[in-house]
Amino acid sequence: MDKTQESHSRKKSMIIATILMMMGLLLSKGSGFLRDIIVGIKFDEVYRDAYTLAFTIPDLFYNLLVGGAIFSSVAPYMSGSLAVNEEKRGVRTVSIFISVISVVMLVVCTLGVIFSDQIYSVYNLFLQDKDKINPEKLALAANASKFLFPQIFFIMLAALSSGILNAYKKFSSTAFAPTVYNICVLLSIMFLAGNTQGDLMHTTAGVLVSAFIYFMFLYILGFGTLKKFRFKFEPKDKEFRFLLKRALPIMFSASIVQLNVVILNMFTGRFGNIIFLFRNANTIWQIPYGIFAVSIGTVMTPHLAGLYESKKYGECRDMLTTSIKNILFLTIPSAGMIFIMSENVVSAIYQWGSRYTDANVADAAVLLRFLVLPIITQSIVHVMNHAFYAIGKTKVPLVAGVAGLITNPLLCYILINKNFGLKSLSIAYSVSSMVQMVILIILYMRNKDIKPRNIVKFVLKSAACLVVMCVVLVLIEYFMRFGPGKVKALLSLGIRGVVCVIVYFGMAIILRMEEAKFWMDRFINKLKPKKKQ
């Protein structure tokens, strides 16, 4: 196979893998939405905030110890080993990494269960009385977390399995596994949730069982590949220490995302029961981010790592350029739609019962409206982080993340005390995300051989398409009235969404943007009946 055929084959496999990942993430996000809807129906305001808060500290420990390292260090390391035909070396080193980190995680989970009350008291440690979170809510969250600390051990094993399978480019095996987890959690909430401490504990116990099922599902699905990896507790191994040194900055930078969530939750005390509402707003903006940026970045990383390891720098540059353009092409219109229709979106998704009031909708919409910028900025942060991970420069994302981590609480404190209200939380997060993006872009552009090209011209064209789309959407908002009712609200949202997509893609075609033709061709090909061989 010559270089042209090899490049074409690689692009085709990446397209198929990306579409698979998008479909899997779409299902995962959809089932995740159902999970949050049922939480809003089954729990009252105090218990749904406690349930949401209970996840934050275990998730922080997960990200701090292993979360980011799996997809951003372990998977690229394994991909690089496969690219240079050194599979045995990669399997041995990753086996040691899994063994050591599993032992550490077991210790952390045990300590988390024992000291959960003391850990959750951190939320109110540095705050004035008027800003403190309700102590009853914190106590409920601490008790519920006793099942969520063990849960992260199985989530870690599942994520490691997924990262390894992605390194072997077996994306079809991993794309739909998170949906299995979400469905199991959804069933736990439906049948176990209620407004007592016992019900809350039973629900998080169900989440623990769901995490175990998630891991077993992935392990059985990828058994042929995963059986190569055995328990090897050899922390002094030279190659393991190289991988660990590479992974440590990623672990810290990945934990910054969850640290920001913890910080923002700390500042919610002044505004009452809004922790769950803030989660709702976060979940909505992360739909386009998760489906587009995460899927494209996940597929890009092992390929980019392999190309960089093989010193194919021109192909590295082209791959990153294409990935950035595709992500921006899909996230820019998503941000515009969500900004203009924020209240309609929140109401349509979450308001299915009397416990989710009109006031809840209004508060969540305010939080969401000022979180649309991270749909774009955080998408770029994600793909640039993964580009740095793929080329082995793992400290740069950590530097950018620390800058964002400093910016976030500082702005929260200033804006809240300047009486900006609820939107203070969203603005602070948006600005910190922009700070990270700018730092990453500046530092990556110093790599002349692999820096992306023609991005500014592309962004200007996308912005023109966005302006036209937003004008059309505002006119529809003004002239179209569907009246009250859940069905009409969903119908209205669906019609406006379809019109937005048509207008944006139409403008992109007029401006001769290659990305419009690319995604339309993919869509049309899916609709065409397959020819019989």
Q: C-alpha angle with apex 74: 162 to 170, nearest 5 degrees?
A: 35
**pLDDT by residue (tens digit) across 207-245?**
999 999 999 998 988 888 888 888 889 988 888 888 888
pLDDT at 348: 86
**pLDDT by residue (tens digit) across 135-182?**
888 899 999 999 999 999 999 898 888 878 877 777 666 667 788 888
CB 389 within 8 A of CB 401: no
The DSSP symbol for 529 reads P
**pLDDT by residue (tens digit) across 489-526?**
788 888 888 899 899 999 999 998 888 877 776 666 65
d(CA 185, CA 382): 27
Rg, the chain, Cα only:
23
**pLDDT by residue (tens digit) across 324-347?**
998 999 899 999 999 999 998 998
pLDDT at 533: 43
**pLDDT by residue (tens digit) across 396-419?**
888 998 999 899 999 998 999 898
In the chain, domain spans: 3-453, 454-523
What the block records as the tokens of 211 is 């995490």
d(CA 304, CA 294): 15
d(CA 371, CA 245): 34
Q: How far is CA 430 from the centre of its chain?
A: 15
* DSSP letters spanning 361-400: HHHHHHHHHTTSHHHHHHHHHHHHHHHHHHTT-THHHHHH
One-letter amino acid for residue 269 of the chain? G
What the block records as the tokens of 394 is 């793992």
d(CA 6, CA 9): 5
d(CA 43, CA 81): 48
The DSSP symbol for 531 reads P
CB 304 within 8 A of CB 387: yes
What the block records as the tokens of 402 is 């620390």
* DSSP letters spanning 331-353: HHHHHHHHHHTHHHHHHHHH--S
Q: Comparing C-alpha atoms, which of 230, 351, 342, 327 is closest to residue 281?
A: 342
Is the pLDDT score of 4 beyond 80?
A: no
Which residue is it, tokens 């050591």?
100
d(CA 92, CA 234): 10
What the block records as the tokens of 430 is 């948006």
**Banded model confidence at residue 460, pLDDT cuts 50, 70, 90:** very high
What the block records as the tokens of 28 is 């995962």
Give the pLDDT mean for 5-20: 59
| 456: number of Cβ within 10 Å | 8
**pLDDT by residue (tens digit) across 21-79?**
566 556 666 666 788 888 888 898 889 999 999 998 998 888 777 766 666 667 777 87
d(CA 267, CA 274): 10
Percent of the chain residues topping a pLDDT of 70: 87
Give the pLDDT mean for 469-481: 83
d(CA 500, CA 18): 23
d(CA 115, CA 205): 18
Is the pLDDT score of 12 beyond 60?
A: no
Which residue is it, tokens 């981010």?
289
Could you tell me the sign of the dihedral formed by the alpha carbons of 360, 365, 371, 375, in that order? positive
